[in-house]
Structure 1
């Protein structure tokens, strides 16, 4: 007669839960933060923080320097911004 422990270990649910966790960890490791991309900052770039400036440049593959100041990043942003026309 099977015990409750035998029935629990023969179930597929724990295996599938474990496989889902491993798949999620692997996806996060492969894609990193790009798995959940962040939105662009909005408003006037003059009021953006250093992190927002860096994120805007990274989203466009412009590779911001980690040593750059906010003023330098802002200069690059203004040089690369596209004029939006209605």
Structure 2
């Protein structure tokens, strides 16, 4: 009488799942985390940046902008921390 392990080893679904897992791990090891590279920092005057760029700049430096912060507040924080390099 076949056991549950015998049935699982004969299952095509388990084989497909295993090969999918191996393929995903291989793709990740080949391309790494550069599949979706991070956007570069905006350049120029912070007053010309969009709100999204201001927030991204602050997040890159682990300065976590407040969700309710106005554009002017974000610009002020960026200018105050302008010489801070991004943290890894």
TM class, shorter-chain normalised?
0.5 to 0.7
Runs of 5+ consecutive residues of structure 2 not aligned to the other structure? 1-11, 27-32
State how many pairs are aligned.
Answer: 63
Show the counterpart of 2:76: 75
Provide the aligned C-alpha RMSD in A: 3.1
Show the counterpart of 1:5: none
Give the counterpart of 1:20 among 14, 20, 23. 23
Show the counterpart of 2:67: 66
Deviation digits for residues 26-78 of structure 1 (CA, Å, limit 9, x no counterpart): xxxxx8xxx63221111211100000000000000001111101110000000
Where in structure 1 do 4 or more consecutive aligned residues deviate above 6 Å? none
> How far is the alpha carbon of 1:17 from its aligned partner?
4.4
> 1:71 and 1:57 mapped to 2: Cα distance?
14
> How far is the alpha carbon of 1:20 from its aligned partner?
2.6
> 1:15 and 1:81 mapped to 2: Cα distance?
48
Using structure 1 for the length normalisation, give the TM-score. Answer: 0.57
> 1:59 and 1:79 mapped to 2: Cα distance?
15
